[in-house]
Amino acid sequence: MPPLLLLSLLIGFDALLAVPAIAKSHSTSLRVPLHRSPPPLAAVTRLDYVRELVKSDHLRQRMISGTIGGRRYRQPRRACENATTAVAAAAESFAMPLTSGAYTHTGQYFVRFRLGTPAQRFVLVADTGSDLTWVKCGFGPRRCRLCGGGQRLFRPEKSVSFDPIRCSSNMCKTSLPFSLTTCPSPASPCAYNYGYSDGSTARGIFATESVTVMLSNGQKAKLKGLIVGCTSSFAGSSFRSSDGVLGLGHSGISFASRATASFGGRFSYCLVDHLSPRNVSSYLTFGPNGALFPSMARQTELLMEPRLAPFYSVGVSGISVDGEVLKIPMSVWDVGRRGGAILDSGTSLTVLVEPAYEAVVSALSRRLAGVPRVDVDPFEYCYNWTAGARVRIPKLVVHLQGPARLEPPAKSYVIDVADGVKCVGFASAPWPGVSTIGNILQQEHLWEFDIKNRRLRFQRSTCTR
């Protein structure tokens, strides 16, 4: 890949439509003007940033545990199956630039997304834990309250393809998650109130809309009739730094299921190091990914458990540290016994339920016992790495069902939180409960979610090829 990367990936890409590029499999870069000055990164220390990650992970974990099982969620019927009429013809895949959101001090990964006709441009959180794709939006007389000053808002009145879903429709009544029953008149829009147990909410209306994508053959295409949320009021911190959410979860309405239905039954992403600056980007790809080599990739079953929907989960068979298989009860990984492990692009640190957390953290800390400790709230084990610079970090391996092993780089689990300070980077959650493989443990790997064949493939990558 040419070294030239996006200079202002996320903001102000008005110029983008004029650029005809995007060649096959990740080989194109664009330089676009910067319209908004970047936030004052230097004002925030890495430690503050990491603390922020831990805080939002914690809220998300509560959301996850509150969501699973107890969510006001109705598994959508396969409504509007044929609505995604891709103008795909000659191309088999499309890609969207993906970057770490660290420059906004959040632990999310952001994609660029073009919604409506003509297309309006947004930066969305790429979220495998969401089904609904939504953008902050001003609909009719409603303005987006608490959406944040200066943020981009979707303007439905400027899009000829925006089509609100009626509250009297069957889709509203039976297929759309978190839809409200209020229906002042049959033609009123179908409203939603996404509520998260951390108190974050997103309220708005459902619509069908078109999304513009860049195909691998270099042409633009529109995916039509996608279900999107026009969020007109927003509260809570979960999605503060972006314009909304791209739903990559497994659910009949998610962007991932609609897009993969037309493009190869699979999507993939490569997560750059989470501390990467905004000018370092990789891609979220729908359809086959030329950068994934079947001979090199590891694979395991991609579990799409209804009980954990819309999250994807994987079968974990154990964790080892320097070859020692840790004693963790198998029930911890068993969805049928209220355990299980999800793979989540929206959580930063990996969250382990108590018995697994204890085993992993004590195995790592035992081997790091020679390094001077320092106290860094909220972590349990942190080390003065100026003194410990020559100590080898023990090798952690996550064993997945089948022979697949996830062997993350050491920096993905003994993480840099400040100059000369490293911490064991796991969070604990109560047992029984679900563990979460977070995006830091996933970084510098290419992940392919083969929805059609229910396979998860992954391979080490710097993502900048």
Ligand X SMILES: *[C@@H]1O[C@H](CO)[C@@H](O)[C@H](O)[C@H]1NC(C)=O
181 lines the binding site for ligand X (CB under 6 A): no
Q: Binding ligand X by CB under 6 A: which of 23, 160, 187, 387? A: 387
CB of 416 to ligand X, least distance (A): 12
Catalytic residue, from 57, 127, 131, 243: name it.
127
Identify which of 135, 146, 133, 129 has the alpha carbon closest to the alpha carbon of residue 66: 129
Nearest to ligand X of 224, 250 (CB atom): 224
The answer to whether 295 and 306 have CB atoms below 8 angstroms apart is no
When the beta carbons of 59 and 79 are compared against ligand X, the nearer one is 79
CA–CA separation, 464 and 448 (whole Å):
16
**Least Cβ distance, residue 246 to ligand X (angstroms):** 22
**Contact assessment for residue 121 and residue 214, using Cβ atoms and an 8 Å cutoff:** no
Closest by CA position to 33, among listed 18, 12, 17, 5 = 12
5 or 364, CB closer to ligand X?
5
Residue 384 found at the interface with ligand X (CB under 6 A): yes
Closest by Cα among 87, 464, 28, 32 to 218 = 28
The answer to whether the beta carbons of residues 138 and 99 sit under 8 Å apart is no
Contacts of 392 (CB under 8 A, 6+ apart): none
Which of 66, 236, 277, 432 lies at the binding interface for ligand X (CB under 6 A)?
Answer: 277
83 lines the binding site for ligand X (CB under 6 A): yes
Q: Is 374 one of the binding residues for ligand X (CB under 6 A)?
A: yes
Stretch that binds ligand X, among 80-88, 103-111, 346-354, 452-460 (CB under 6 A): 80-88
| Contacting residue, 337, 386, 403, 453, with ligand X by CB under 6 A | 386
Q: Shortest distance, CB of residue 419 to ligand X, whole angstroms?
A: 8
Total residues contacting ligand X (rule CB under 6 A)? Answer: 13
Whether 439 contacts 350, CB under 8 Å: no
Catalytic residue among 131, 273, 344, 450: 344
Q: Which stretch binds ligand X (CB under 6 A): 86-94, 326-334, 361-369, 384-392?
A: 384-392
Shortest distance (Å) from residue 46 CB to ligand X? 13
CB nearer ligand X, residue 56 or residue 161: 161
Among residues 18, 40, 70, 82, the one that binds ligand X under rule CB under 6 A: 82
Name the segment binding ligand X (CB under 6 A); options: 13-21, 90-98, 173-181, 379-387: 379-387
Q: Is 228 in the site for ligand X (CB under 6 A)?
A: no
Distances (CA, A) of 440 to 147, 313, 350, 389: 27, 17, 7, 22
Closer residue to ligand X (CB): 19 or 387: 387
- 344 belongs to the catalytic site: yes
What backbone phi and psi angles, to 5 degrees, belong to 338?
A: 65, 25
Closest by CA to 119, choosing from 42, 222, 35, 25, is 222
Furthest CA-CA distance within the chain: 70
Using rule CB under 6 A, residue 253 touches ligand X: no
Whichever of 277 and 288 has its CB closer to ligand X, that residue is 277
| Subset of 2-61 contacting ligand X (CB under 6 A) | 5
> From the CB of 223, what's the least distance to ligand X, in Å?
13
Q: Kindly identify the residues of this chain, within the stretch 417-446, that bind ligand X according to CB under 6 A.
A: 420-421
Minimum CB–partner distance for residue 161 and ligand X (Å): 14
Q: Is 273 a catalytic residue?
A: no
CB of 48 to ligand X, least distance (A): 15
Stretch that binds ligand X, among 174-182, 244-252, 275-283, 451-459 (CB under 6 A): 275-283
Distance between CA atoms of 107 and 104, rounded to whole angstroms? 9
Shortest Cβ distance from residue 274 to ligand X (Å)? 16
Q: Angle at CA 246, nearest 5°, toward 442 and 161?
A: 155
Q: How far apart are alpha carbons 210 and 195 in whole angstroms?
A: 26
Per-residue contact flags (x/-) with ligand X for residues 278 to 317, judged by CB under 6 A:
-xx-------------------------------------
Catalog residues that contact ligand X under the rule CB under 6 A.
5, 80, 82-83, 277, 279-280, 374, 384, 386-387, 420-421
Instruction: List residues with catalytic annotation.
Output: 127, 344
